[in-house]
Amino acid sequence: MSLSADDQLEAVFGADGALSRAIPGYRMRRQQVEMAQAIGQALREHSLLVAEAGTGTGKTFAYLVPALLSGGKVIISTGTKNLQDQLYSRDLPTVREALQVPVSTALLKGRANYVCHHHLEGALADGRFASREDVAHLHKIARFAKVSQSGDRAELADVPENAPAWQSATSTRENCLGQDCRQYAECFVMAARREALSADIVVVNHHLFFADVMLRDEGVAELLPACNAVIFDEAHQLPETATLFFGETLSSGQLLDLCRDTLIEAIAGAGDAPALRPAVAAVEKASRDARLALPLDAARLAYAAAIAKQTFKQALADLYEDLKKLSKLLETQAQRGEGLENCWKRALDLQARLARWTAAEPEGMVRWVETYSASFQLNAAPLDIAEIFRKQLQGHPRAWIFTSATLAVNRDFSHYTAEMGLDEARTACWDSPFDYAEQALLYVPAGLPAPNDAAHTAAVVEAAWPVIQASRGRAFLLFTTLRAMRRAHELLRERFEAAGVDYPLLLQGEGSRSELLERFRRLGNAVLVASQSFWEGVDVRGEALSLVVIDKLPFAPPDDPVLAARIEYLDKQGKNAFMEYQLPHAAISLKQGAGRLIRDETDRGVLMICDPRLISKPYGRRIWQSLPAMRRTRALEDVTEFFAAAPVE
């Protein structure tokens, strides 16, 4: 008698199953088995499943096992490139080997991750570099391109990820020549796509998925018709990613890339067209003038506020005219080569985007400007993505699976399913197998000022100081703003010096995130002060992290132009924007931050939330009930006793 599909999965995950035999230290978890069975059912029925699985459930194996056993073509999309690499290089081979199934796999990234022979050749011929280091990096990339099978820049550790040389040695959606490229046959991007088309399991990331599907590039959009299932890991990130790609952007980076590429192509194919250089210089100047007309600090400005600045409005008008002149000049040279023709089409496209952004705002859209230290970005995005995403689900029957540790608010998925248009989805929730009641303590100190009080950050440091001493360092202090983060770091440094304590004090920005985390783990008693970029995707197991301090409930600032527009949009529909949008987002974000604390069955720690609204406001209960079931206290003595019960060796 043959086993049912559920019994098959039970056997694979069981104490004597394939995973147990192949993976040292593997232990069966009931939550993992049930999640795998629910995913297996969705794969068989080509249905929608939204599944939350608490930290430690082992959700990666819970979807990989049924996906590999399904016999169909599956696209798996992860939140970041790092997770994508880990899934493809570590988790997928481990499960495939354990199951002994003849399944082919492929890794597909955005084109900017692969060396482009055409642009590398152009950059080497151009010979204009900002530094000797750039020259050295470019030559390393050239040597790598000759021997690499994949051309994936992640394989070349000798050239830093943020090295300027990569920009000259890779292509973008805009400047790729496609089939017109003379080196199309050797193209690494096309090779990766061909491999993905023939593979059973394809690993992508959310940005690539939405960029390709929405813009109908040759990649994921080409894979979708043939696939039987799409699995989104870290699915809580999808609403933000989808909003970005369902909209439209125009950045100063795109403008400057066009200028750089036009000069390179002009040198190669239009040396007798001297008017191109001043036309390019005019676009470069207009782009920089537009940035100078905006605030110097990184900020988000509503369309109305930005356009009200006469200097910015005039700068955009000048930019449009200069782009128009460059487009006309490029049109006269376009027939002289594929590169020049590509630059002409890009100039026209950027010109059209700028015209759309400055025109009347379409219904249901929000426009805003994002400023960075030396650049800016004009954005337009839909306020409601449900209907647009619903259209992606139609067509060929396939399973769509959305999973994360943070999708529900107190086991309620309605916020997520409504936002994503997943009305017909089955939802399921599995708690973490960790014993939070024994392993963790939630501490909300009494007597703290309101989070909008100017004295709040100082009060957070004051309240956290005895807890840091009790935990003997080993702490993350996470802040909702960069200003509060920097102020807290100053105050802590003064405290450390005055008290003569020698816990290493680390600050976000002193190195890359991976470098800081490596130092934190290695030191064993460090205190890291950081902002929301450390709230998710960070895994520190063991005693090195025993305290997580969060300064405020992570509500988005009410003056954020996108949030303000969304609140207005929801209010017009008669909805309660706070309860239906702001509160669920804050609760899910807080769950992510809290999730840094307990990463293993033997971890112990304290989660300290320094926001009195968690206790004083009626909605506070809904938020803390969404957190894992830790013991709760407002007494410092309970915290010191908790740490004293497990002294550091």
Per-residue pLDDT for 61 more than 80?
Answer: yes
Sequence letter at residue 112: A
pLDDT at 220: 62
497 compared with 124, residue with greater pLDDT = 497
pLDDT tens, residue by residue, 244-290: 888 889 999 999 999 988 988 888 777 777 888 899 999 999 999 99
Helices (H), 26-149: 30-45, 59-69, 81-86, 92-99, 117-126, 132-147
Residues 6+ apart with CB under 8 A from 270: 276, 333, 336, 337, 340
Q: Select from 262, 219, 244, 221 the least CA-distant residue to 348.
A: 262
pTM for this one? 0.90
Check pLDDT > 70 for residue 573. Answer: yes
pLDDT at 648: 47
- Are 233 and 536 a contacting pair, CB within 8 Å? no
What pLDDT is recorded for position 215? 66
Check pLDDT > 60 for residue 328. yes
Q: What region does 307 belong to: left with phi over 0, alpha with psi -120 to 50, or beta?
A: alpha
Per-residue pLDDT of 420-466, as tens digits, reads 999 999 999 999 999 999 999 999 999 999 999 999 999 999 999 99
Q: What is the pLDDT of residue 649?
A: 47
- For residue 225, what pLDDT band results from cuts at 50, 70 and 90? confident
Residue of higher predicted confidence among 362 and 466: 466
- Among 127-131, 193-197, 473-477, 482-486, the range scoring the smallest mean pLDDT is 127-131
**Strands across the sheet containing 365-371:** 248-251, 376-382, 365-371, 299-302
Mean residue pLDDT of the chain comes to 90
Q: What is the mean pLDDT of residues 45-53?
A: 96
Q: Sorting pLDDT into bands at 50, 70 and 90, what band is 609?
A: very high
Question: What's the pLDDT tens digit per position in 75-112?
Answer: 999 998 888 988 999 999 999 999 999 999 999 998 88
For residue 229, the cross-strand partners are 74, 399
In eight-state DSSP terms, residue 88 is I
Region of poorest pLDDT, from 214-228, 302-316, 400-414, 582-596: 214-228
| The predicted structure's pLDDT at residue 141 | 93
Instruction: Examine the pLDDT at 223 and tell me if it is beyond 80.
Output: no
Instruction: Calculate what percentage of the chain has a pLDDT beyond 70.
Output: 98
pLDDT confidence tier of residue 212, bands split at 50, 70 and 90: confident
- Name the percent of the chain lying above pLDDT 90: 65
Tens digit of each residue's pLDDT (9 = 90 or more) over 412-423: 999 999 999 999
pLDDT over 90 (residue 296): no
pLDDT at 174 exceeding the cut of 70:
yes
pLDDT the model gives residue 441: 96
Contacts of 523 (CB under 8 A, 6+ apart): 504, 544
Give the model's pLDDT for residue 82: 81
Write a three-state SS string for 504-550: CEEECCCCCHHHHHHHHHHHCCCEEEECHHHCCCCCCCCCCCCEEEE
Indicate if the pLDDT at residue 170 is higher than 50: yes
Query: Which of residues 235 and 126 earns the better pLDDT score?
Result: 235
